[in-house]
Amino acid sequence: MPNPLLKKPTASHGAFPFDQIKAEYFIPAITTAIETAREKLETFKADSRTDFQHVIVEKSDITEQVDYIAGIFFNLHSAECPEELEKISPEMSDILTRFGNDISLDPIIFAKVKTCYEARMDQNLSKEEMTIIEKTYKSFVRNGALLADSEKDRVREIDEKLGKLTLAFSQNVLKATNDYLMEITNKDDLEGLPEGVIEAAAELAEKKGKAGSWCFGLDAPSMLPFMTYSKKRELRKKMLIASSSKTFNTQYDNQSNLKEILKLRTERAKILGFNTHADYVLEERMAMSPKKVMDFLGELLAKAKPHAENDVEKLRKLALELDDIKNLESYDVAYYSEALKKRELDMDDEMLRPFFKLENVVDGIFKVANRLYGLTFKEVFNVPKYHEDVRSFEVYDEETNKFVGLFYTDFFPRETKRPGAWMSGVKEQGMYQGKIERPHIMIVCNFTKPTKTKPSLLTLDEVLTLYHEFGHALHGLLSNVKYRELSGTNVYWDFVELPSQIMENWVLEKECLDLFAIHYETGEKIPADLVEKIKASGKFLEGYATLRQLTFALLDMAYHSVDPESVTDVAEFEEKTISKTTLLPKLPGTSISTSFSHIFAGGYSAGYYSYKWAEVLDADAFEFFLTSGIFNREVAKKFREFILEKGGTEHPMELYKKFRGQEPDVGALLRRAGLH
């Protein structure tokens, strides 16, 4: 049969033909698509025109099929990556990196871009067109277009090596996560674990050929409940050590990958005229410089640390009182945090789970989107999918009845899916071959699976994660720009978390919880007193939680601001760097860094601070909603118009001020967190 990756999709809304795709199709398809694109690029280069339509729009059309195939591949590589797909991933990465560099380092293509850029004021361009030509020119420069040929060759070599290294880092984390299994054969060792957790562990054991025992893995829905409820301290220790050492001095060791990534990133930055990788990255961020980031993190650290120390002292006292534990350890935190929450708030996750049936939570989030933005979601069954867990929805604007986009969900863990949760633009909104098309957006999570006797009942954290990823999805779905390079989440990295993090605020409000928090057995609405406890839980141990986020952000900035030659011992560098935020003893033989995929295999290098930066934005923005009502259509309309629809067409601070009428106030975050 003809390669489906080279055909125009025929499914409803041009949906990706996931059901027809096999791993063996990718290399032939990408090779053919690139050959075709190269031929068209030669014609493009021979054309003397340098106007916007030719240089930006027509060039984008040339690479469209390559982008399409790459998009399918990388979506599958994260969400559904069997062994045969993983085997070809280094070759795919190589091919795509080489092709990308062939364009960004081509002197003729850059000359056309440069001429168009220099004449931008004379072409009667719109604000969006002005933004995209400036962004395109800067992208070429940041990828080495102004360099001498020998330096260009080195940048090309570095990019190809980095593509392989970051992929290897990611694969090691996934393999190490999947490899580990803690088998329990003595029923007494299940003490403290809720019934649903035990049932899930029995089902995992059966699946792994260990029927009659109970098994726990390192994926979050398996590990986190164990760490939270297990009374067996030695087993909690065993589990945390397994998780924290999975890619450190093991067969999946990532230390050499990490060091080489740092060296290459730093060398690349220096070739391009920057002191460090952090300087290079932050040139294109709201924060602008490492100093501004470090000042911001320092301000939060000064506010949060006393509260964090108080939080840890509370946990120490409780551990001593309940179990005569004199030395609190990191593997005790989740367990005694839950016990403290039970004591102080009279609440725990198991009380909430019955009210958070996954299907109800999803229905609730659709209702929230309807109340805020007038969106409706209709499940459809004629759209191809890559796994039976995937559900598909058509999204419409209630007022105009216009199609907004296609929305996919994929909620449960499996061995072929990487850990964590993310949103992905399967197809971004914007212009394709002269026609503006609507987006296809996906959210992928790893939530608690249903068991033989219970549906999927989420924890409060899982509900918050769903709302977070749905916020990203709204950013993609509601995008309303002309050029897809600026659509949806194609914004400054420290702005991209605003639409996602603001959505989490609704979960702590009764008016929102009443839409979906219904007991899965009795049908009763969540009681008002439990809603108050959920709201209070938003500030519970917030000092410690903030310190934990600052640990990651400071570690990221340290790695990307120092001379990489100084990182000779990963564990030692890590320990020294995070000493200011460390309140508990380090577990021997463990490392955060070697499985820190966000910065070594994702897009967050020198950018992890973005989570806290965007929290300032979202706390300030939600205060605006609170003053008018959380479902106020006028405020929501402004948020949609200036934040969700505009993508990267304007500077994010300008967009934020248009929405809010002022710059964000850091005090809003401190007030919300109870850290002021």
**Which residues are catalytic, by number?**
469
Helix, strand, or coil here: 429? coil
Rounded Cα distance, 305 and 578, in Å: 13
- 631, two tokens: 């479902």
Helix, strand, or coil here: 496? coil
Rounded Cα distance, 90 and 409, in Å: 27
Helix, strand, or coil here: 380? strand
* Residue type (1 letter), 657: K
Going across the sheet that includes 391-397, the strands are: 375-380, 391-397, 403-410, 440-444, 422-427
Rounded Cα distance, 117 and 156, in Å: 24
What is the β-pairing status of strands 440-444 and 403-410?
parallel
C-alpha distances in Å from residue 447, one per residue of 34, 178, 362, 412, 511: 38, 16, 13, 5, 24
C-alpha torsion 322→326→332→338, nearest 10:
30
Tokens 């839980």 — which residue?
537
Q: Please say whether the beta carbons of 248 and 594 come within 8 A.
A: yes
Helix, strand, or coil here: 218? coil
Which residues pair with residue 403 across a beta bridge? 396
Q: Please say whether the beta carbons of 532 and 235 come within 8 A.
A: no
